[in-house]
Structure 1
């Protein structure tokens, strides 16, 4: 397979890396994490908009770049290298794709330019406490009432749910006692009947619990305004989640590369028994194994980016599950080896290694754990 990039793709990667290298060093990230009320920098978010990254997944018809999954992969590589705290995955990838796939022409024209310009932040509010990695398991319900809908439910661990302007809430359309098709609603965070409780996550980002208690929504809040046939929203949501899997696989590769580089540099400088520990053959073998895991993860990240737009749903599922398994195994192995080779200081907040380790732990569980996807892949083969 040719892993080479086009000139435009290389420019996209270089632009993102320049932003990360210049404006998002480790100390800058620490200051943002410790002092920003929302857990990320609005200034950095606007900078991402200014260089066009927030418009990457916006269709050209709405003034965006109409980028591919490979383009998103390159940006997420650089985001993983810099451990960005901003809601790029939540808003610029998942929410933007959801509106582009499901929204009506009027909804797209209203929301997508605002997302691309950094004027609004949106997030997908989908997971629930009882879902257990089953994305189809949704208990939130929406009932038709008059000229709109009443929605009730509880969404769990919503990325940046406490600061997003718009929550894209998934629910089952149902009359009382019925189990209806899935739908997605654009819900303003400040709407009456919506309660958010933000909290810090293990990787330094923010998430929120979201409760909807008989919140009334106009018909225009339903993405597509009911123009989609039953089952369309569920199929589109699967594609959106698969695009998210491909994106976090790419982010993981960027973080893994930085973690390996930090470990090799430490092994060259840390001396034990009068010589650098990097000269000990046992540790060289461990670092060689880290390289193998990372290269396998890189290859599967390419596969995920290529296959997440495949028209064959079964092929998409197999490829994305396989990629998530290999990348998840790399996250765990490389992260643990890096911490162990650094010794006790590998888990301290002052060292960037611990922050990469925590983000990789979160990625391994995001959109389904390694074990979950391994079972899914096996069942698909059967």
Structure 2
């Protein structure tokens, strides 16, 4: 993009195109139908994002088949996808997966990235483990050199979008002990690799996840992304970008909650008048609106600088945004449900589905307390 105005115009066009497409292909009725027919095939609208809209590569450099819009594209698209509760494959595939692939060029990575941009592949990032508790260096899955490739052994937990994915990007320890900053590697593993076992299940917000066991899974040498044993900085960057993308998703989720709540309180009557005329509810709605706008402004501000920020600046800024978003998700989500009353938690009403997603976003990629500790740890640029 040549100028900031041109970039903003392009992003607005992408938002509008995606919003119209989702209205036609991923409305609330389609969501209810999809939830009633759970399976491991990618959501039916996924390939349309590439074939009909050609937007999967919007964030990637033009040299990699993209539009060169960077993190701004992820944030714009994630907010729109959040408004339709449709963000998960994009998060795992484009924000994390494609981001890691395009930073580590190679024969396998380049071929897989081309398939991703064409809408022909879904990726999942297998990083979290049962004991890790958001410690990004606490990895016990082992990667051992064996012949002309590697052997992978261990267990990953709650791998988001894994049932939909054809390939996993797996973090594993090449050397050292769990918690060591040195010794982590990233490898690409096909989901049908011999020795890989997956237990898939639905998540509370309607997504799909899996626990995965690697039992002597063998991968070729070109499956390694980057330099063996030096992947922690790349993992940190990918997870920070994913965290900020989820912040943007939450803005779309909360805007839908606010819209539905405002419509409801204007229609619902008590004592012969709309309950929107009650002062206590007006104050509650004002607090919800302020929390949402503050979270949105902070997310946008961090998004403008994250592409060029130093690691410690990125960590502090992203965690600050996540804390604000978590507080807003609680204020807006709980306020919306309480104003709707008991019907706010029914499956038939959209507000309950958005509330569940907002609740899970509060703790996704770390709860507020974890991010507050991270902000304090990086204050002044020192760990």
TM-score range, shorter chain: over 0.9
| 1:87 alignment partner, SS class | helix
For 2:121 and 2:319, the matched residues in 1 are separated by: 32
TM-superposed deviation, 1:208:
0.3
1:213 deviates by 1.1
SS of match in other structure, 2:225: coil
Provide structure 2 residue ranges, at least 5 long, that are not aligned to the other structure. none
Q: Tell me how far apart the structure 1 counterparts of residues 121 and 33 of structure 2 sit (CA, whole Å).
A: 23
- Flag structure 1 segments of 5+ consecutive residues without an equivalent: none
Runs of 4+ in 1 over 6 A off after TM superposition: 2-5, 175-179
Counterpart in the other structure of 1:97: 99
What's the counterpart of residue 194 of structure 1?
196
Larger CA deviation: 323-332 vs 146-155: 146-155
1:3 CA drift (Å): 11
Q: Does 1:295 align with 2:296?
A: no
What TM-score does the superposition give when structure 1 sets the normalisation length? 0.93
Q: What is the RMSD of the two structures over their aligned residues, measured on CA atoms? A: 2.1
For 1:274 and 1:254, the matched residues in 2 are separated by 33
**1:331 lines up with 2:348 in the alignment:** no
Change (3 A) 1:177 1:84: closer
Are 1:223 and 2:225 counterparts?
yes
Distance change >3 Å, CA 131–CA 96, structure 1 → 2: same
Partner Cα separation in structure 1 for residue 228 and residue 355 of structure 2: 43
Residue aligning to 2:235: 237
Cα separation, 1, equivalents of 2:83 and 2:30: 14
Give distance in 1, aligned partners of 2:41 and 2:281: 37
1:177 shift after superposition = 11
Farther off after superposition, 81-90 or 213-222? 81-90
**Is 1:366 aligned with 2:368?**
no
Q: Report the Cα distance in structure 2 between the residues aligned to 1:3 and 1:196, rounded to whole angstroms.
A: 46
Secondary structure of the residue aligned to 1:37 is: coil
Shift of 1:286: 0.2
CA contact (8 A) 1:40 1:86 kept: no
Of residues 181-190 and 300-309 in structure 1, the stretch that sits farther from structure 2 once superposed is 300-309
- CA deviations on 1:90-127 (whole Å, 9 max, x unpaired) are 112110101111x2332332111100111111111011
Q: Distance in 1 between matches of 2:61 and 2:5?
A: 25
* 2:80 paired residue number: 78
Measure, in 1, the Cα distance between the counterparts of 2:106 and 2:221.
Answer: 15
Provide TM-score, normalisation by structure 2. Answer: 0.93
* Pair 1:312–1:197, CA change in 2 (3 A): same
**Deviation at residue 153 of structure 1 after TM alignment:** 1.1
Aligned residue pairs: how many?
Answer: 375
2:344 to 343, 346, 350: 346
SS in structure 1 opposite 2:307?
Answer: coil
Q: Secondary structure at the match of 1:82?
A: coil
